Amino acid sequence: MAEAILDALGQVLTRWTMGGSAAPAAPAEWRDKLGDDASEAELRLLALSGQFLGALAVIEPAGDVRIRPDIAALPRPPLPDTLRPRARRLLEQLREPTQRRHLLDFLDARGWTLHPSDWMPGPDEEVPEVYAAWQDWAVAETSGPAREALTTESWDGLRPAARLAAFTALRRRDPMQAGALLAEKISGETADIRVRLLEGLAIGLSDADRPLLEGLATDRAPRVKALATSLLARLGHDASGSEDTAELAGFFPVQTKGLLRRTRSIAPVVLKTPAQSNRRTALMEAVSFGAFAQALELPPADLVAAWPWGGDRLADHALAAMAARSGSDAIVDAVAEALTNGASVDPYSLAPLLPRLTSVQRRQTAVQVLRAKDGTFVQALAIAGGDGGIAEAMQTGAGGTLVSALKAEDVKPTDQSAELLALGLLASRPAAEQALEQLAAAGLIVSDPRLDMLRLNAALEHRSEFEGATT
């Protein structure tokens, strides 16, 4: 009978779609229940067909049905339900991957994660390690043992994202064991995964890693080969004396000044054509920091001291990138100090160094940017990232500039949206509360959507504080 009713409803739906009366085409079993009144019959038919289709008719799926495993549990809990709507609104705004990563980092620093109903990471999306189990769940038919310790035996049982997260954690905890494990297993991975695992080797890099890196310096994949060569250069084992190195040194002659205290400084050759500029840039991207210093007959630290910082922004950026790629930790610190010692900080020149600076160094540099006359919260966010840790963020030059801009007579409802978002990601929780008070005094209403990030910041407790309050 059910099949007959289901077949008859095809005619009913067709008549309704065309705007006509469907009661005459109703299943015979229902006609006595529909009554004689035409309008009432249509309503009763609608009720009966809706109940039948919604409760009694089972639609057979096309193809095989596969039950997916449960979503893997994360080490940290999702946001409280009261704050999830605000997080969803922010996700709608933050469509650009870098901005979304700032939000993820902010929540991670506070000890929380997004709810899986609100957001799920893509398999290859750059996200905090805490989401590795979700990435593997998204591509796996069954959940891998994401919480299992990484060993020779468990290596192949872990999905790529979980394996990378476990390797990174092992590298921080025991660099020697992680290096030995990588030497045994890396040859069986694809080029993309070899690159990502090799990037993890930069944590705790030491001469013990030299044999592995020398082997990978002849890898069949150019990206793996280049990265291994750069890591060797950080350890001071780089190739030197090449024609490219000598050519690059020719763009930066070294001069000696002073009679008693003879100091050496670099006086770059004035570039006359775009071709010269392009060639110099290409050479700086190919030559290692140690080889460049050797060609100039300067110790690497003296090269940093002799460099004319601020004279050529493109050259500053290229040298910083060279240091980040192939310089030692001491050289990276020296270049970062040279770039931040002036009256202002150039975020463009500093950008290549950021992955190798500690969170404390990045935060200190971001505060310098905020205090500068022309500093902005957007610039500071690009340096510090969204860890929500800067106290008294509004008591800076950038804070004063923001308030003045919001008080301007010609201000529009969308003005300063990027600055307010960056402020919300940068500020500590007390600083976010203070900022909301100051912005309210400047004329912004509490429900202004530009304040969503600041309101989330002010409302979101650190996980340690939340646990302490609930125990």
What tens digit of pLDDT does each residue of 167-226 get?
888 888 888 988 888 888 888 888 888 888 888 888 888 888 888 888 888 888 888 888
Q: Tell me the CB-side half-sphere exposure of residue 307, using CA atoms within 13 A.
A: 28
Whether 230 and 248 share a structural domain: no
- Give the pLDDT confidence score for residue 240 in this predicted structure: 58
Helix (H) or strand (E) holding 406: helix 397-407
Residue 138 has φ and ψ, to the nearest 5°, of: -65, -25
Domain count, the chain: 3
Q: Does the residue 76 lie in any domain?
A: no
Mean pLDDT of the chain: 85
Least confident of 31-45, 70-84, 344-358: 31-45
Angle subtended by helix axes 397-407 and 359-371, to nearest 10: 50
Residues near 74 by beta carbon (within 8 Å), at least 6 away in sequence = 113, 130, 131, 133, 134
Out of 342, 368, 399, a domain closes at 342
Whether 286 and 317 share a structural domain: yes
Whether 203 and 254 share a structural domain: no
Question: For residues 109 and 93, what is the distance between their CA atoms, to the nearest angstrom?
Answer: 21
pLDDT-derived band at 322 (thresholds 50, 70, 90) equals very high
Mean pLDDT of 227-239: 81
Q: Does the residue 92 lie in any domain?
A: no
Least confident of 3-12, 99-108, 346-355, 376-385: 3-12
Mean pLDDT of 290-297: 90
- Give the pLDDT confidence score for residue 142 in this predicted structure: 42
**Residue-wise pLDDT tens digits, 417-452:** 999 999 999 999 999 999 999 999 888 888 889 999
Q: From 202, 244, 246, 195, select the one nearest 221 (Cα to Cα).
A: 195
Residue 118 has φ and ψ, to the nearest 5°, of: -95, -30
CB 320 within 8 A of CB 353: yes
**Residue-wise pLDDT tens digits, 68-82:** 778 888 999 999 999
Q: Does the residue 307 lie in any domain?
A: yes
- Give the pLDDT confidence score for residue 332 in this predicted structure: 93
Whether 173 and 194 share a structural domain: yes
Whether 218 and 287 share a structural domain: no
Out of 322, 342, 362, a domain closes at 342
**Residue-wise pLDDT tens digits, 361-370:** 899 899 988 9
- Give the pLDDT confidence score for residue 241 in this predicted structure: 58
Out of 30-39, 112-121, 124-133, the most confident range is 112-121
Whether 185 and 215 share a structural domain: yes
Whether 253 and 206 share a structural domain: no
CA dihedral sign of residues 199, 201, 203, 207: negative
Question: For residues 227 and 427, what is the distance between their CA atoms, to the nearest angstrom?
Answer: 35
Out of 179, 212, 234, a domain closes at 234
Residues near 42 by beta carbon (within 8 Å), at least 6 away in sequence = 21, 22, 23
- Give the pLDDT confidence score for residue 456 in this predicted structure: 94
CB 114 within 8 A of CB 78: yes
Tell me the whole-structure pTM to 2 decimals. 0.71
pLDDT-derived band at 55 (thresholds 50, 70, 90) equals low
Domain residues for the domain of 159 are: 155-234
Whether 227 and 259 share a structural domain: no
Q: Does the residue 401 lie in any domain?
A: no
pLDDT-derived band at 471 (thresholds 50, 70, 90) equals very low
Q: Does the residue 445 lie in any domain?
A: no
Q: Does the residue 82 lie in any domain?
A: no
Mean pLDDT of 76-89: 94
Whether 338 and 249 share a structural domain: yes
Residue 113 has φ and ψ, to the nearest 5°, of: -130, 170
DSSP 8-state code for residue 458: H
Q: Does the residue 172 lie in any domain?
A: yes
DSSP 8-state code for residue 310: T
Residues near 264 by beta carbon (within 8 Å), at least 6 away in sequence = 254, 255, 256, 257, 298, 302, 306
Model confidence at 457: pLDDT above 70: yes
pLDDT-derived band at 140 (thresholds 50, 70, 90) equals low
Q: Does the residue 319 lie in any domain?
A: yes
- Give the pLDDT confidence score for residue 187 in this predicted structure: 85
Whether 229 and 267 share a structural domain: no
Whether 13 and 45 share a structural domain: yes
Question: For residues 23 and 38, what is the distance between their CA atoms, to the nearest angstrom?
Answer: 8
In Å, how far are 79, 83, 87, 101 from 117, measured between CA atoms?
A: 11, 13, 12, 18
Of 253 and 149, the one with more pLDDT = 253
> Residue for token digits 């002799």?
306
Whether 227 and 167 share a structural domain: yes
